Amino acid sequence: MKKIRMDMIFSHSSDVVSREIDGALIIVPLTSGVGDMEDDLFSMNETGTEIWNMLDGKKTVQEVVEALAQQYRAEPAEIEQDVAGIVTELLKRRMLVEATVA
């Protein structure tokens, strides 16, 4: 599994389409092989949604962590772990791609 570095930048994969319906973020597979079943749709918890929205192909992981740290009273190490966790999971699911490597 790829190690997530703080200088990495990620963007949403073109293999999925994200939509917001009735206040909920839904990630819809576009190409075959995303998810375990072809008819799977995905949603995220609140933290996941927030992080997803910040993974815009411009911000580094570090910047995402810093932005979250300003909003939440949590230890930076804990936020860092959360962000790395979701990035890892989304990469595994082909919902995220690495945009550039600094």
Partner 1 sequence: MKENRYVVKKDLDSHLLWKGEGPPLAHLDIELTERCNNACIHCCINKPAGDKRSLARELETCAWKDILRQAAELGMMTVRFTGGEPLLRKDFPELYLFARRLGLKVMLFTNARLITPQIAALLADIPPLEEIEISVYGMRRESYEAVTGVEGSYAGFRNGVQCLLDRKIPFVVKGALLPPNKKETAEFAAWAATNPRMDAPPSYAMFFDLRGRRDSAAKSSRIRRLRVSPEEGLDILTRHPGSYLKEMSAFFEKFSSPPGDRLFTCGIGPSCVDAYGVFQPCLSLRHPDLTFDLEKGSLKEANVSGFPRLREMKATNPLYLKRCARCFLRGFCEQCPAKSWSEHGTLDTPVEYCCRVAHAQARFLGLVMEKERAWDVRDSAERIQNLITRVAVS
Residues that bind partner 1 (CB under 8 A): 17-19, 21-24, 26-32, 35-36, 38-45, 47-48, 51, 85-86, 89-90, 93, 95
Quote the least distance from Cβ 78 to partner 1, whole Å. 14
Quote the least distance from Cβ 99 to partner 1, whole Å. 20
CA 21, CA 2: separation in Å to the nearest integer?
A: 32
Quote the least distance from Cβ 101 to partner 1, whole Å. 23
User: Which candidate, 99, 83, 102, 82, places its Cα nearest to that of 14?
Assistant: 99
